[in-house]
Amino acid sequence: AIQMTQTPSSVSASVGDRLTITCRASQDIRSNVGWYQQKPGKAPKLLIYAASTLQSGVPSRFSGGGSGTDFTLTIDSLQPEDFATYYCLQDYNYPFTFGPGTKVDV
């Protein structure tokens, strides 16, 4: 199975900060990565798919990049509602695998 690692595992940030989260795959997965945001007690929410395509309705301060094995999620000008945990997911092949998550707090 493809392993996904994420860095950092947690980060403290402030409103207005620019934040980048990195996800690395154990093998080439082309652009088959999605990014999900999860708040406590809630279901994950799709932010980015196909590595860099913004899901409809998601604010443009979120952006994704990368291909192959290295991927990034960037949040420009962090807003109060962005404090959450972020997961990457490889859907290149089965079994799908999530990264361990990055918790973003104040």
Partner 1 sequence: QLQLQESGPRLVKPLETLSLICSVSGGSISTTGYYWGWIRQPPGKGLEWIGNIYYSGSTYYNPSLKSRVTISEDPSKNEFYLRLNSVTAADTAVYFCARFRSGDLDAFDIWGQGTMVTVSS
29-63: b or e for each residue (b if 16 or more CB lie within 10 Å)? bebbbbbbbeeeeeebeebbbebbebeeebeeebb
Which of 91, 78, 77 is CA-nearest to residue 23? Answer: 91
* The one among 19, 32, 64, 66 contacting partner 1 by CB under 8 A: 32
- Of 42 and 81, the one with the shorter C-beta distance to partner 1 is 42
Q: Which of the ranges 15-23, 38-46, 60-68, 75-83 carries the binding residues for partner 1, by CB under 8 A? A: 38-46
Interface residue list for partner 1 (CB under 8 A): 1, 32, 34, 36, 38, 42-46, 49-50, 53, 55, 87, 89, 91, 94-101
